[in-house]
Chains A and B, each alone.
Chain A
Amino acid sequence: MKSKYFDHAATTPVRSEVMEEMLPFFTDIYGNASSVHLPGQKAAGVVDDARQKIADLIGADRSEEIIFTSGGTEADNLAIKGTAMALKDKGKHIITSSIEHHAVLHTCQFLEKHLGFDVTYLEVDKEGFVDLEMLRKSIREDTILISIMMANNEIGTIEPVEEIAEIAEEHDILFHTDAVQAVGQIPIDVVKQNIDMLSLSAHKFNGPKGVGALYVKKGIKLVPQSSGGAQERKRRAGTENVPGIVGMGKAAELAKKEMMEKADKLSSMRDDLISRIFSDIDDVLLNGPEGKDRLPGNINITFKFIEGESILLNLNMMDIAASTGSACASGSLDPSHVILALGRSHELAHGSIRFSLGYGNDQEDIEYLMEVLPGIINRLREMSPLYAKKK
């Protein structure tokens, strides 16, 4: 039996069309995009084609506003540290949210620790939304950057980025959004949505790992975070990952073409799975919002009285892949900062499981999951001292 993969928010398989497009650039067309000769110029040409496809996917006016990076983490680092260093004489205050990915949170903490910045981490409501009033109140004279994710990786909450961008503009503050989870799942238009910088990662939308991009609106100056050659208009030194970039371009083209159809399909599978979990299993909670404000492929459920890693191990034995916000699976002592930020207790955070749907999931996968999941939950609960107390 093929394994049932419900972890597309962690990473996705590379589409065969994407891989085919990439292959010649490992062996036949291997030039360095910075070289003057023909092999080099061929490589430079395909890099720019891919740049245009990514610009098209997110609604950017100019392809040169796309900077290729090694992934979402590097894009977040470049946006936040690059802005901080460029504007440090104007101000040293940054606003972000408490439910950002660690690529943003730890970058902000780095700036606090090493460069004397002050960071406000906005709390979120019980569904994970940033409060716009709180955002307004936290703006100071010296605020230079607001960085709020477009959609949360654990609970799928889609943040009101357009409104946030408007507030940022009113106060002449730059706005960056980590859109790693959103790209290819929901429509993005950086011009209409008034976004200054946006991070994306190829492997989250069926492209290869190790390549991503940062959109930077024309006119914004960033201090590069790697020193070296003049690649990417001197904003990101290092030889371009040509096969990866070509793959990312192809994945972006497919994502743009198929997005609406995919979003409809995944949202309906998502809602079906959520309602079946609620009807077949007692004592469950949905983490994150319902409906249109949730990423199409995201399901995050707390199974009360039991712990996430033990659920994952059981699912894994049945060839089902999912993920958990429990500390026990992460190697740290604290459970998911996102689930805790919703106001859930540690116990409830330990029992949270994320099922993330994507390209390739079908109804058969859902049927199989629902065949085995209630039994697993039941068996673990029978073993749990907390469940005994409840009874």
Chain B
Amino acid sequence: MYSDKVMDHFQNPRNVGEIEDANAVGEVGNPTCGDIIKLYLKINDSDETIEDISFKTFGCGAAVATSSMVTELVKGKKLNEALTVSRDTVAEALDGLPPAKMHCSNLATDALKNAIEEYKKTKE
């Protein structure tokens, strides 16, 4: 049902946990739909680079794997580059997701966008 890459990220998730001095946090989902994804970002204020990123996720295998993959894809990237990472990018990087999981469990990029928007607001 899941690709080897999904299972790898599920079994050995990258960047799990909280960042204590995070300066941007984004959360999506709710317990009703079955997935909650929370991302913690440490953004360098001078050059807008994501220096560190981590996640906590309540959800199925795909929700954990997509969260893990997003953190890996955007770590070290500039904010505008990070924003180009889409759900499709994440799914492709994981060698695909089962059709039923494409929308309901592929929310990590939404959490990333939320976090970056919040961060930008505080900087205005």
Contact = CB atoms under 8 A, between A and B. Distances in A.
Interface of A: 305-307, 309-310, 313, 317, 326-329, 331, 333, 335, 345-347, 350, 382-386, 388
Nearest to B61: A313
B40 to A, nearest CB: 10
Given A347-B31, A383-B13, A388 B60 contact: no
Contact of B32 (A310, A347, A382, A388): A347
B36 interface: yes
A310 B31 contact: no
A383 B37 CA distance: 10
Contacts of A350: 31, 34
B32 A346 contact: yes
Nearest to B38: A385
Contacts of A388: 18, 56
Contacts of A345: 31
Given A333-B104, A383-B16, A346 B34 contact: yes
Contacts of A383: 13, 16, 56-57, 64
Interface in B1-36: 2, 7, 10-11, 13, 16-18, 27, 31-36
B34 A384 contact: no
Contacts of A328: 34-35, 59-60, 62-63, 104-105
Nearest to A350: B34
B64 A310 contact: yes
A171 B25 CA distance: 62
Interface string B27-70: 10001111111100000000000000000111111111000000
A326 B37 CA distance: 17
Contacts of B61: 309-310, 313
A327 B7 CA distance: 19
B86 to A, nearest CB: 22
Interface residues of B, number: 29
Nearest to B36: A385
Interface residues of B: mostly helix, strand, loop or mixed?
A: mixed
Contacts of A327: 34
B58 A386 contact: yes
Contacts of A346: 31-34
Interface residues of A: mostly helix, strand, loop or mixed?
A: helix
Contacts of B2: 313
A307 B56 CA distance: 13
Contacts of B59: 307, 310, 328
A310 B36 CA distance: 13
A251 B13 CA distance: 45
Contacts of B7: 313
Contacts of B100: 331
Given A382-B16, A385-B38, A307 B32 contact: no
Contacts of B104: 328, 333
A333 B31 contact: no
Contacts of A335: 34
Contacts of B33: 333, 346
* 3 nearest A-B pairs in the assembled complex, by CB-CB distance: A347-B31, A328-B60, A309-B60
B16 A307 contact: no
14 contacts: A305-B58, A310-B10, A310-B64, A328-B35, A333-B104, A335-B34, A346-B33, A382-B17, A383-B16, A383-B56, A383-B57, A383-B64, A385-B36, A386-B31
Contacts of A313: 2, 7, 10, 60-61
A335 B18 CA distance: 28
A385 B37 CA distance: 7
A335 B17 CA distance: 27
Contacts of A382: 16-17
B60 to A, nearest CB: 4
A149 B115 CA distance: 49
A340 to B, nearest CB: 11
A326 B60 contact: yes
Given A307-B63, A328-B63, A328-B104, 13 more contacts: A307-B34, A307-B60, A309-B60, A313-B7, A327-B34, A331-B100, A347-B32, A382-B17, A383-B56, A385-B56, A385-B57, A386-B31, A386-B58
Nearest to B18: A388
B25 to A, nearest CB: 10
Contacts of B60: 307, 309-310, 313, 326, 328-329
B34 A326 contact: yes
A328 B63 CA distance: 10
A220 B97 CA distance: 51
Nearest to B37: A385
Interface centre among A326, A333, A383 (most CB of B within 10 A): A383
Contacts of B16: 382-383
A384 B56 contact: yes
